Amino acid sequence: MPFQITIEPLTIESFKPYGDVIQLEGNKNVIIANQGTAKRVNHVAKLENLRSGPSPALQGAKPNMCIFSSAPRPTTGGLFQVKLLERHPYSSQVFMPIHEQGVTANPDLPSYLVIVAENGSDDLPDLRTIRAFAATSTQGINYKANSWHSPMVTIGRRVDFVVLVWENGVKLQDCEEAPITPVLVDLKPSFKNLPESKI
């Protein structure tokens, strides 16, 4: 029987162990730019390429800015089931939402799900530490290098993201996957009017 966790709001502080939340609100180092017509926040994310130094075992990597168009995942009874986590051992990974299908109302409502876990002593996800966060369309995320996380999960509608990651085309250096004992995420505290389908 899968064990269950409850979704949490995504905040800069709560996500610090896993990476950065990219957002304007809540940042303390806002400066005014463009002759007073814009707000700017510098260094909102720590971008990492751990393959930049010489190493016979690692091939160099190049930054890949791409677009992910993520279809909504199935839920049942307000629950989402996590069966797999992944990590990028040598690169951070940024997701910044740029379009959410059919959204004309409140941009601060939850848009996608961020699921993370710490690394265990066996170099696999430690499921005792697994957490799930509700992110809005005004929030981006930056996973630290080697941080276990779920592949992108959108709920209820398609969301498009700009993604930045360093890659070299070597599968296990770019992305390592780990099947896990299923975990159920209770979405109901954050996501309302969830579509019903089988997990």
pLDDT in tens, 120-160: 999 999 999 999 999 998 999 999 999 999 999 999 889 99
Write phi, then psi, for 176 (nearest 5 degrees). Answer: -115, 130
Q: How far apart are CA 156 and CA 13, in angstroms?
A: 27
Partnered with residue 82 across adjacent β-strands are 183
CB 160 within 8 A of CB 70: yes
* Secondary structure (DSSP) of 69-96: EEPBPP-BTTEEEEEEEEE-TTB-EEEE
Enter the pTM of the model. Answer: 0.89
**Helix (H, G, I), strand (E, B), or coil: what is residue 180?**
strand
Confidence label for 198 from pLDDT (cuts 50, 70 and 90) = very low
Lowest mean pLDDT among 52-61, 78-87, 155-164: 52-61
Per-residue pLDDT tens over the stretch 13-59: 999 999 999 998 888 888 999 999 998 989 999 999 998 665 656 77
CB 6 within 8 A of CB 186: yes
